[in-house]
Amino acid sequence: MMEPITETWWPRFREAVEADIFKRRPIQLACSICQELITTNSSEPSHSNVDGTSHAAVIIPCGHIVGLSCLIRWLVHSNRPERNYSRCPACNAKCFHHPRCGHRCMGRMLPGNPGKYSTIPPVLSAGGVVAPECSKCEAKLLLRQLCKYAKIYPTLIPAPGRDQYIGFGLLINGIAAVYTPPPLDKQGVDYRRTSDVVINSGLSTVWNINKQIMALKASRFWYEIDLTALEFTISIFQSGAPSPKNPPMVMETDEPEIIGMDEEV
């Protein structure tokens, strides 16, 4: 067996993986916090901590790669400056907070496909910057702007039924990232996205311009997701419990996930 790739600093890890053209070298990364193996690909056996939480590989803005569950526990203590939990455990860089919104910067999940490596921004020492706002706040602001433009470029929308509502949303991999909630008189029940409305060409142009802006931001700033993967939709949401084959596209939660987003605007 060829020597495994063990480099836990992102630029050198990426270089080693991309140089292994025939994928002969196994990847064996040890978490910088607990020194246990971390999961780098969905096709490999999942490494989990004793409590069952995922130990998937996360790249933090300084470039070091750690396990997700360890990073979450590390950041629980980030409000204790005397212990330096707000800094990278490997290099002591300050990289865990978005300065404008104040939310935690969780870095980026290590892509399982090397073809996606180009979506990771430069590390801090190479010109990368922790984004002023987290992915969630950035997406919420973008959706509010799109809702305003929708009044300038109206889209033909069918009248919703009594158990339906029309919602604006940003999706990533088909899952609602942020969305407009139902009217007050229709809240309190679960909804699922059943169909999308064809968006007016003027509004589509506005969205395409914003996608280009997102791509520019993503090329330098550290967000928790790939902003270029966001898609804008105007959708019809139907109330009622979804079947297992049609899971809910909108979930209201009191405590949003740290990685990824799931929140109303």
Q: Rounded to whole angstroms, what are the CA distances from 177 to 3, 21, 91, 246?
A: 40, 35, 32, 17
Sorted by sequence, the CB contacts under 8 Å of residue 19 that are 6+ apart come out as: none
C-alpha 240/C-alpha 33 separation (Å) is 44
Sole residue written with tokens 């003027």: 202
Helices (H), the chain: 10-19, 68-76, 135-152, 201-218
pLDDT in tens, the chain (265 residues): 689 999 999 999 999 999 998 889 999 999 989 999 999 875 455 555 555 568 999 999 999 999 999 999 888 876 665 555 578 888 988 888 899 998 989 999 999 899 999 999 999 999 999 999 999 999 999 999 999 999 999 888 888 888 999 999 999 988 888 999 888 888 888 888 999 999 999 999 999 999 999 999 999 999 999 999 999 999 999 997 454 444 443 333 222 232 333 455 6
C-alpha 203/C-alpha 225 separation (Å) is 24
C-alpha 255/C-alpha 94 separation (Å) is 25
C-alpha 208/C-alpha 202 separation (Å) is 10
Helix, strand or coil, per DSSP, at residue 156 = coil
C-alpha 57/C-alpha 54 separation (Å) is 9
The domain locations on the chain are: 1-128, 135-264
Sign of CA dihedral 165, 168, 174, 177: negative
pTM to 2 decimal places: 0.83
